[in-house]
Amino acid sequence: MADLDGVKDAKNFCTDIPMKNEAFFLKGSNSLDWGMKNRLSNIFSPKSGKTLMLAIDHGYFQGPTTGLERVDLNIVPLLPYCDTLMLTRGILRTTIPPSFTKGVVLRASGGPSILKELSNEQLAMDMEDALRLNASALAVQVFIGGEFETQSIHNMTRLIDAGNRYGVATLAVTAVGKDMKRDARYFRLACRICAELGATYVKTYYVPEGFETVTSSCPVPIVMAGGKKIPELDALTMAYNAVQEGAAGVDMGRNIFQADSPVAMIKTVSKVVHENLKPDHALDMYETLKNEEND
């Protein structure tokens, strides 16, 4: 029998203090379940509302691209400075230390290599394995206007249904075909379709004209995709502008791991995303950190 001697009467009910009922910090995410919100808090900082996702999933269709030849040597040292890692389950299992406790976003679509039609993707992993790997979100490519547009949309909606069942977020990645015009009109269309069909958040490219119309017409958070390697000042300026124009952070790969100093670059991008560091100051920070490394 339980020992009930000395059990004190509960009396600290604070009846004059109403329980707080705060909205969740991320746009469009208030109606999600606790598990999904908890996973999103592993991706986005509850303090700034932003994320620096380090994207290293390129090998799923490109093989060992520049900067990702040796993930153990080139990427593992960057892990302390990202908020979230976006990668394939193969690289996660083989190369990332399980002591990594930040958000993991797993690439969940695939099929064609760079040698074939890229929009011909299918779902490439099961939700059960995502849960086994403790993923916070699964990423799926969506090719609006592409040859296999409908198939890619169905990949996304199937992933969303499975994710909603278990509380795993779905990141819809708007992929642009080679011949398509990358402008605000196209990205408004692509992002809105992904959100309307249930994506938890969306990744899209930055456009200098009208990016704020892309973020404002999308009812879930948008993270900016980095794109090909450009000069550091340009990459920092793009990240700064995207966040100022409504992005909830960046998902950046090549502009970090192909920089002259990837550690200096990721530390600097983090300041731009979370602390609104302006591009010229950010470049100073990057150069200073890079020079310190070489001393």
Report the residue number, 32 or 248, with the smaller CB distance to ligand R5P: 248
Among 103, 110, 226, 279, binds ligand R5P (CB under 6 A): 226
Report the residue number, 32 or 247, with the smaller CB distance to ligand R5P: 247
225 binds ligand R5P (CB under 6 A): yes
Q: x-or-dash pattern for ligand R5P, window 82-121, by CB under 6 A?
A: ----x-----------------------------------
188 and 181 in contact (C-beta within 8 Å)?
A: no
List the catalytic residue out of 37, 203, 267, 290: 203
Whole-angstrom Cα distance, residue 88 to residue 58? 9
203 is catalytic: yes
Only segment of 5-13, 89-97, 253-261, 263-271 that touches ligand R5P (CB under 6 A): 253-261
Whole-angstrom Cα distance, residue 262 to residue 258? 7
* Structure tokens given for 270: 């983090």
User: CB of 197: closest distance to ligand R5P in angstroms?
Assistant: 19
* Structure tokens given for 214: 């892309």
252 binds ligand R5P (CB under 6 A): yes
> In the chain, where do the E strands start and end?
51-55, 84-87, 103-107, 109-110, 122-123, 137-142, 169-174, 201-205, 222-225, 249-252
- Give the residue nearest to ligand R5P (CB): 226
Bridge partners for 134 per DSSP: none
User: CB of 270: closest distance to ligand R5P in angstroms?
Assistant: 15
* Nearest to 202, CA basis, from 213, 212, 188: 188
Binding region for ligand R5P (CB under 6 A): 55, 57-58, 86, 225-227, 251-255
